[in-house]
């Protein structure tokens, strides 16, 4: 159960698309909601012959952000325990330090939009927070229209992406903590395996010689074995979840583009949230957004819960 949730805001309606999801989590769990803005260091400047000191500019920026956060707090309505803070310094560094000092357990933030804002958070702030905080981060995809605070999303199906490793399974508990807030929440366990080769759906290859037919049968046998192993693994994980009173189903996809398969399986299952660690079988070389997770976040139309595993 999450007790403290942090939402980074920058004064834009773009970043505010994280608010409905964060409020829903806070309302269901009784968690403290920490709204945080960061003012980056400013340089002194001349404008039309008038000198503006960096200290004066930063003080004005802090005042504006403080008033903005107060307005957001009022818009979120009563019944929530909300704190606000305006920090000064490097954005990602300040957010991580604040999260550590306040024992934050979950970060909810916007990811990206369309057009020139496509990499505003993703690849910069969210990436840096993920590098240093080791906290679950719930990335909410904003839409072009202003945020609607009258509605709260409640994802009753959560797609859990696993690859058969213990590191990947570390996303299970953060996802279960969200599912525990939603009555009747269901989990869809998804594993993507690569195709062994160009195996046709049927072996009706009358034009091929005997050696080619033999090779095709061998590849199909290997593919079926890999598929069976992946499905067996997911069923074991599903049984562990069911033993805790949770609903779970399994899905194995065969695709050499895992990000597209994950999004497709989540959508076809009706999942309202995708959860996955930020690594794959390739090891720890790409722990940050930028590989499969990055692509899933870009393609998914639902929030994505990510977490960087602590190397052991």
Least confident of 13-27, 113-127, 138-152, 247-261: 113-127
- Is residue 43 included in any domain, yes or no? yes
Per-residue buried b or exposed e for 80-113, using 16+ beta carbons within 10 Å of the residue's own CB: eebebbbbeeebbebbbebbeeeebbbbbbbbbb
Flag whether pLDDT at 104 surpasses 50.
yes
Confidence of residue 279 (pLDDT cuts 50, 70, 90): low
- The Cα–Cα gap between 22 and 153 comes to 9
Same domain, 175 and 66: no
What's the DSSP call for residue 153? -
Phi/psi of residue 33, nearest 5 degrees: -110, 115
Average pLDDT over residues 204-217: 67
CATH number of the domain enclosing 137:
3.40.50.620
Same domain, 278 and 130: no
Average pLDDT over residues 56-81: 90
Tokens for 135, please give them: 């906290």
Same domain, 111 and 48: yes
Least confident of 2-16, 17-31, 82-96, 142-156: 142-156
Same domain, 117 and 246: no
- Is residue 312 included in any domain, yes or no? no
pLDDT tens for each residue of 163-183: 998 988 999 999 999 998 887
Residue 150's SS3 state is coil
H or E element: which one contains 244? none
Looking at the structure of the chain, the number of domains it has is 2
**Which residues partner with 274 through β-bridges?**
159, 304
CA distances from 108 to 134, 141, 162, 310 (A): 14, 11, 22, 20
- Is residue 57 included in any domain, yes or no? yes
Flag whether pLDDT at 113 surpasses 50.
no
Instruction: Look at residues 153, 174, 190 and tell me which one is the last residue of a structural domain.
Output: 153
Phi/psi of residue 220, nearest 5 degrees: -65, -40
- The Cα–Cα gap between 4 and 105 comes to 6
Tokens for 266, please give them: 């989540």
**Which residues partner with 87 through β-bridges?**
38
Same domain, 74 and 180: no
Domain around 249:
154-305
Least confident of 17-26, 35-44, 204-213, 233-242: 204-213
- Is residue 142 included in any domain, yes or no? yes
Give the chain's mean pLDDT: 83
Q: Are strands 304-307 and 137-140 parallel, antiparallel or unpaired?
A: antiparallel
For residues 248 and 187, the answer to whether their CB atoms sit within 8 Å is yes
- The Cα–Cα gap between 230 and 170 comes to 18
Average pLDDT over residues 186-201: 81
Q: Helix axis angle, 258-269 relative to 292-299, nearest 10°?
A: 40
Same domain, 29 and 59: yes
For residues 52 and 44, the answer to whether their CB atoms sit within 8 Å is yes
Instruction: Look at residues 136, 153, 170 and tell me which one is the last residue of a structural domain.
Output: 153
pLDDT tens for each residue of 222-259: 888 999 999 999 999 999 999 999 999 999 999 989 99
Could you identify the residue written with the tokens 């920058």? 10
**What pLDDT, on the 0 to 100 scale, is given for residue 47?**
45
**What pLDDT, on the 0 to 100 scale, is given for residue 311?**
57
């Amino acid at each position: 159960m999450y007790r403290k949730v942090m939402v980074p805001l920058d004064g834009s309606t773009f970043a505010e698309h994280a608010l409905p999801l964060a409020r829903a989590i806070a309302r269901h769990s009784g968690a403290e909601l920490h709204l945080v803005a960061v003012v980056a260091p400013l340089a002194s400047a001349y404008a039309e012959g008038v000198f503006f000191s960096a200290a004066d500019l930063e003080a004005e920026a802090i005042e504006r952000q403080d008033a903005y956060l107060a307005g957001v707090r009022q818009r979120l309505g009563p019944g929530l325990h909300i704190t606000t803070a305006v920090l000064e310094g490097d954005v990602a560094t300040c957010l991580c330090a604040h999260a550590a000092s306040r024992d934050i357990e979950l970060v909810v933030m916007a990811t990206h939009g369309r057009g020139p804002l496509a990499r505003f958070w993703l690849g910069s702030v969210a990436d840096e927070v993920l590098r240093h905080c080791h906290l679950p981060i719930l990335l909410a995809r904003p839409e072009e229209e202003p945020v609607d605070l009258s509605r709260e999303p409640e994802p009753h199906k959560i797609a859990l992406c696993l690859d058969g490793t213990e590191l990947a399974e570390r996303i299970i508990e953060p996802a279960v903590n969200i599912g525990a807030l939603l009555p009747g929440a269901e989990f869809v366990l998804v594993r993507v395996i690569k195709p062994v080769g160009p195996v046709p759906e049927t072996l009706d290859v009358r034009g091929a010689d005997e050696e080619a037919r033999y090779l095709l049968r061998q590849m199909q046998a290997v593919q079926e074995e890999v598929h069976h192993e992946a499905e067996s693994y997911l069923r074991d994980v599903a049984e562990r979840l069911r033993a805790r009173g949770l609903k779970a189903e399994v899905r194995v996809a065969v695709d050499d583009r895992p990000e597209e398969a994950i999004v497709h399986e989540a959508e076809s299952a009706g999942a309202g949230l995708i959860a996955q660690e930020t690594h794959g079988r390739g090891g720890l070389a790409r722990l940050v957004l930028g590989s499969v997770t990055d692509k899933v976040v870009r393609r998914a139309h639902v929030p994505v819960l990510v977490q960087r595993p602590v190397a052991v």
